Amino acid sequence: MKVSMIGHRDCSENIRSVLKKVLTDCILQDRATVFYVGHQGAFDRIAYGVLKSLKVEFPHISFFVVLAYMPTKAEFPEDLTLFPEIVARSHPKYAILKRNQWMIEQSDLVVSYVLTSFGGAARYKQMAQKKEKRIVELSTLSDKI
């Protein structure tokens, strides 16, 4: 099973424990082994940190930072990054859109942290819904965990 994560650029660290619980459940219950995360904002940084810690606990999983742009400096180890061809060939104006489309298309499950019905994160969650992807919405779980 492959899992992608989408969320707001601005995100509180408080979501970390909920995200870790959800991803742990994905590994243990759904047998998820591959995870994709972007690199544009706070949610992506939190997800990256959670995935790094889960990799220690579950060495059989793989996770990748999916790039929208070729970085000018090495932000992540090369073996942890993907730069899909469809993104590389796209105009920079559309790079994030193409990257997020690619992530959603690769995934069986999308873990989402979307608080509004507008903006980029909401648009990609809607895209996942249209593609009938299974979605776990973290904002509805944070008060239950």
Predicted confidence (pLDDT) per residue in 76-87, tens digit: 666 688 888 888
3 state DSSP class of 8: coil
Q: Which residues contact 125 (CB under 8 A, 6 or more apart)?
A: 6, 110, 112, 114, 135, 137
Cα–Cα distance between 91 and 143 in angstroms, integer?
40
Global pTM reads 0.89
Q: What are the pLDDT digits (tens) for 75-132?
A: 666 668 888 888 888 898 998 889 999 999 999 999 999 988 888 888 999 999 999 9
**Burial class of residue 143, CB neighbours in 10 A (0-12, 13-18, 19+):** exposed
3 state DSSP class of 138: helix
Radius of gyration of the chain (CA): 14
The mean pLDDT of 133-139, rounded to a whole number, is 93
